[in-house]
Chains A and B, each alone.
Chain A
Amino acid sequence: MAKARVKVPKSVKKGEVFQVKTLISHKMETGLRKNKKTGKKIPRKIINNFVCTYDGKEVFSSDWHPAVSANPYLAFYVKATKSGPMNFKWTDDDGKVTDKSVNISVSG
Chain B
Amino acid sequence: MADKLKPHTYKRREVLALAGTGVVVVVAGIGLFPGAASADAAAVAKAIKKRIGDKPMKSGRITLELPEIAENGNTVPIGFEIDSPMTDNDYVKAVHIFAEKNPNPDVATFRFTPGNGKAKVSTRMRLIKSQNIIAVAEMSDGSVYMTKKAVKVTIGGCGG
Interface residues of A (CB under 8 A from B): 17, 30, 32-34, 54-55, 57-70, 72-79, 81
Verify B34–A69 contact, CB threshold 8 A: no
Instruction: Check A32/B107 contact, CB under 8 A, given A73-B122, A77-B117, A79-B115.
Output: no
- Chain B, interface residues (CB within 8 Å), range: 20 to 34
Which residue on chain B has the smallest CB distance to residue A57? B115
30 contacts between A and B (CB under 8 A): A17-B118, A32-B34, A32-B36, A33-B33, A33-B34, A55-B115, A57-B115, A59-B113, A60-B110, A60-B113, A60-B115, A61-B111, A65-B104, A65-B106, A66-B104, A67-B102, A67-B108, A67-B126, A68-B107, A68-B123, A68-B125, A69-B74, A70-B74, A74-B122, A75-B122, A76-B110, A77-B116, A77-B120, A78-B115, A79-B117
Which residue on chain B has the smallest CB distance to residue A61? B111
**B107 contacts across to A, CB distance below 8 A:** 65, 67-68
How many Å from the CB of A51 to the closest CB on chain B?
9
How many Å from the CB of A56 to the closest CB on chain B?
11
Q: Count A-B contacts at CB 8 Å.
A: 96
Verify B116–A62 contact, CB threshold 8 A: no
Q: What separation, in Å, do the CA atoms of A58 and B127 have in the docked complex? A: 30
Verify A62–B109 contact, CB threshold 8 A: yes
**B114 contacts across to A, CB distance below 8 A:** 79
Q: What separation, in Å, do the CA atoms of A32 and B31 have in the docked complex? A: 10
Q: What separation, in Å, do the CA atoms of A70 and B34 have in the docked complex? A: 17
Q: What separation, in Å, do the CA atoms of A78 and B113 have in the docked complex? A: 9
Picked from A33, A34, A68, A78, the residue with its CB within 8 Å of the CB of B116 is A78
**Contact code string B117-150 (vs A, CB < 8 Å = 1, else 0):** 1111111111100000000000000000000000
Q: What separation, in Å, do the CA atoms of A76 and B120 have in the docked complex? A: 6
Q: Which 3 A/B pairs are nearest by Cβ-Cβ distance?
A: A17-B117, A79-B117, A69-B124
Q: What separation, in Å, do the CA atoms of A17 and B158 have in the docked complex? A: 43
**B109 contacts across to A, CB distance below 8 A:** 62-63
Picked from B74, B116, B124, the residue with its CB within 8 Å of the CB of A76 is B116
Which residue on chain B has the smallest CB distance to residue A65? B106
**B111 contacts across to A, CB distance below 8 A:** 60-62
How many Å from the CB of A53 to the closest CB on chain B?
10
Which residue on chain B has the smallest CB distance to residue A48? B108
